Amino acid sequence: MKKVIILGAAVISLAISSCSTVPLTGRSRLNLVSDDQVLPMAFQAYSTFLTENKNAVLPASNAQASRVKMIGNKLIAAVKTYMNNNNYGDLIKDYKWEVNVVESKELNAWCMPGGKIVVYTGILPVTKDDAGLATVMGHEIGHAIAGHSAERMSQEMATQGVGSLAGAALSKDPQKQSIFNTLYGVGSPLMMLKFSRNQELEADKLGLIFMAMAGYNPQNATAFWQRMSAAAAGSQKPAEFLSTHPSDATRIAQIQRAIPEAMKYYKP
């Protein structure tokens, strides 16, 4: 019992001393590891994923891949502009942006730290149009930009009693690599980091701004999430993409509240 109390006190003390705020939103978060420290692990995991799924990765000449990459590049340019205009350019200076499309029935898309993006063909009928695709890609990029992966890893480290990683070479630490791989599902058919609902809503807000700056009307975001909800409801099991997401009503209500702000960035 004494050991449990001591461990609990240590975790609480570590959490208090390691709090920071999300630069783009001001939300308080646990920060035991910076996004920069996670990047080498993300790059390695992304490379491994592409190698293991090389037969499913669509070539750039493919029409679907070409469309996704075109929209992705517009979003990336918008993100760079937004970050630089708000004095956060240093947060993405080490990003190595890349967009790939994977042939899969999964209703899924994700963006790893460092700008490593994958869109599954299974979600394309649900995105329906360019604005829908910009909605989901902008949302996933929002996770990366807000450092949600590092935050989730910090939470897992605190749970496991792993100390601060300041100055540590994470990619050379088997325990930390294991935490990263577990969170991202490395080695499994589905790569998906389960973010908290607060993080999901945060990514929604950022995604709306990014898609608006890329030239896609953020007012179309509501329709995408409605289609996504309907597609998930029609399957035998909930789509992994929505497994930890806010309720449809909560998400749509917040998106509607955030649209006026995002519209300030929209230039057709």
Q: How many residues does the chain have?
A: 268
Cα(17)–Cα(14) distance, integer angstroms: 5
Is residue 140 among the annotated active site residues?
yes
Q: Which of 140, 151, 200, 202 is catalytic?
A: 140
Report the DSSP beta bridge partners of residue 102. 57, 120
Q: Given the structure tokens 């902008």, which residue do they identify?
A: 138
Query: Looking at the annotation, which residues are catalytic?
Result: 140
